[in-house]
Amino acid sequence: MAKPLRILIPLTCLLLAGCGGQSDDDAQLNALDNELAAMNDGQPAQDPQLAEALAGQIMVDPGLTQTSNANAVRPPNRPDSDQVPVLPPPGDPVDPRTLKSAPKASSDCPECRASAKALTLGALAGQQAANARCLAGLRYSAGWAGHLPAAFAVYPGSRLNEAAGNDAGGCHVRIVSFRAGGPVDKVIDYYFTRATAAGYDADHKRDGAQHVLGGTQGAAAYIVYATARRDGGTDVDLIVKGG
């Protein structure tokens, strides 16, 4: 509860030395100093008004306590809700005993250097496997991943990123990007095994972490870009024309 104004006036007068005559100023200030010093030593105040003013409860307005520091800036107490979670690598159900080993990779890989400049799947396909007319008609949809030739189906257990294709005008182009759970050497062996079993030839090249496996069968062609990931999986871009 607030103290009556009349109680605070004597204390204010003592502090400002404006209520008594100038001749009493020093005496009043000395008396106040002595009494405050005595209170610091544990002795009770002699002036009842001073004792009440110092020891009384401070007035608080409950309505204002709810708005205190309402606009203060403070760090968040939790991470931002729009952070993208880190997904674990997908599983790898492929039995390595069913695979043949791809030939040793050549270190001369112009396809690797060209792929580094491609910003889209269409641009990547334009480096190797399809002409401009077919690329101009590409349509992007995850459904194209289900229309790959059987020899080049998406590596089992993979997580699809993007897919595109075009069947107009005899193009028959498929471009699929995905994340495989198997290591890069195993992914290359998987597609080497399937491609050669389907009658395609195979050429294996490498530049650092990126491997390229490609080949043809008549007018049909394929190329696999496989890049090792730090988590042990593989990022794959697969392009198939015809077949």
Is residue 137 included in any domain, yes or no? yes
Q: Which of 118, 159, 162, 115 is nearest to 139 (CA)?
A: 162
What is the structure's pLDDT at 96? 95
Give the per-residue pLDDT at 4.
44
Cα 140 to Cα 51, 55, 225, distances in angstroms: 83, 78, 19
Distance CA 189, CA 40 (A): 86
Report the 10 Å Cβ neighbour count for 230.
7
Do residue 114 and residue 218 come from a single domain?
Answer: yes
Q: Which residue segment(s) compose the domain that 213 sits in? A: 98-241
Specify whether 131 is located in the same domain as 203.
yes
What's the confidence (pLDDT) of residue 129? Answer: 46
- Note whether 35 and 139 are same-domain residues: no
User: Is the same domain home to 60 and 103?
Assistant: no
Instruction: Give the model's pLDDT for residue 139.
Output: 93
Q: What is the CATH number of the domain that holds 103?
A: 3.30.310
Do 52 and 121 share a structural domain?
Answer: no
Q: How many domains does the chain have?
A: 2
3-state secondary structure (DSSP) of residue 236: strand
111 and 52 share a domain? no
**For 154-179, what is each residue's pLDDT tens digit?**
999 999 999 999 999 888 999 999 99
Identify whether residues 124 and 180 lie together within a single domain.
yes
Query: 225 and 115, same structural domain?
Result: yes
CA distance 178 to 174: 13
Same domain assignment for residues 141 and 26: no
Q: Which residues of the chain are under the pLDDT cut of 70?
A: 1-86, 113-131
Asked whether residue 86 is assigned to any structural domain, the reply reads no
Same domain membership, residue 38 and residue 140: no
**Contact (Cβ atoms closer than 8 angstroms) between residue 149 and residue 243:** yes
Q: How many CA atoms lie within 13 A of 88 on its CB side?
A: 4
Same domain, 59 and 102: no
**Residue 171 tokens, joined:** 């193009």
At residue 226, the pLDDT reads 95
Q: Are residues 118 and 231 in the same domain?
A: yes
* CA–centroid distance for 243 within its chain: 39
Claim: this prediction has a pTM higher than 0.95:
no
